[in-house]
Structure 1
Amino acid sequence: MVTLDAVQFEMVKQYFNLLDTIEEGFDYVISSFENYEQTESDRIFADIHAAFLKIYETNQFMVQIFREDVDVESHIDQFEDVVLEVNKLEDVIFDVAAKQRLIVSNINPVFITWKNSIQRALRKYIQQ
């Protein structure tokens, strides 16, 4: 197991918690597709997208930190699956219904699967 210094520990903990926040954002965005009183879904999805960019950037540091933990490193690399799904939004940018289907059927499930696996791998580090 990799030994984290205080700065690394804090980064991993914030990373871990950010994933839960993103999941909550997805819950709001997806429920807004049927509940039109929830008017902040575009802003929240933009926040999710910005958080994905931060995760992508942070993953470069995470791979360096966990280079000796092949399990964690492989889960970090699997974020690419999420990126591939998000990139499909470019094809449906002006089609609201297609965008909603892509979020519900592809992006959110791939994210949740990845989130659960990376959190399982990281849990032992944040519960030190």
Structure 2
Amino acid sequence: MPNLTPDQYSLLSYYYHLLNTVEEGLEYVSASYDHYSYTEGSKVFSDILSAFYHIDSSHSVILLISEAFPGISEEILKFDEVISTLEEYESSLVEYSYQTALAARGLLPVFLIWKKAVQNVIAPIITH
């Protein structure tokens, strides 16, 4: 297995853990539909959208790293499916409401499928 530079390792490790954080956020926002005590849904969803920007922005560097690791680029590029799902809800996300929680519910399964596939190819690299 090829060696990573410290910067490459840090990027992949951060990326891997960021996906877990986004999952937690989507679960929180989704649950806010049923639980009125989850009062930070709007802020959390805004943070998720920001995380999506960072995830997408890091793909060009990860794709360069992935040349030495088969399977990463194919899974990374499937992030477009997550973004497409988000865009289906875009018009209803003008301000926080139950539509945002519903969008998170619709986005969560698509994100989880993508996240699992990406983490399955990254985990052996960052734990090696």
TM-score (norm 1): 0.90
5 Å-filtered alignment, 1:95-114, equals 96-105=97-106, 107-114=107-114
- For residues 72-111 of structure 1, what are the structure 2 equivalents within 5 Å? 72-93=72-93, 96-105=97-106, 107-111=107-111
**Bigger shift: 60-69 or 108-117?**
60-69
Deviation of 1:89 after TM superposition, in Å, equals 2.2
The match for 1:10 is: 10
Question: Is contact 1:71-1:121 (8 Å) kept?
Answer: yes
Q: Percent identity between the aligned chains?
A: 27
Amino acid at match of 2:75: H
- CA deviations on 1:61-98 (whole Å, 9 max, x unpaired) are 10011023331110110111111111122232359444
- d(CA) in 2 for partners of 1:21 and 1:90? 22
- Give the alignment of 1:1-128 within 5 angstroms: 1-93=1-93, 96-105=97-106, 107-128=107-128
Deviation at 1:119, TM superposition (A): 0.2
- For structure 2, the 5+ residue unaligned runs are none
Distance 1:88 1:8 in 2: 33
Determine if contact 2:33/2:102 at 8 Å carries over to the other structure. Answer: no
Aligned residue identity for 1:63:
L
**CA distances 1:36-58 after superposition (whole Å, capped 9, x unpaired):** 11110000000000000000000
With the length of structure 2 as denominator, give the TM-score of the two structures.
0.90
Shift of 1:28: 1.0
Following TM superposition, by how much is the alpha carbon of 1:114 offset from its aligned partner in structure 2, in angstroms? 0.4
Moved over 6 A (4+): none
- Residues 26 and 45 of structure 1 are in contact (CA less than 8 Å); yes or no, is this contact kept in structure 2? yes
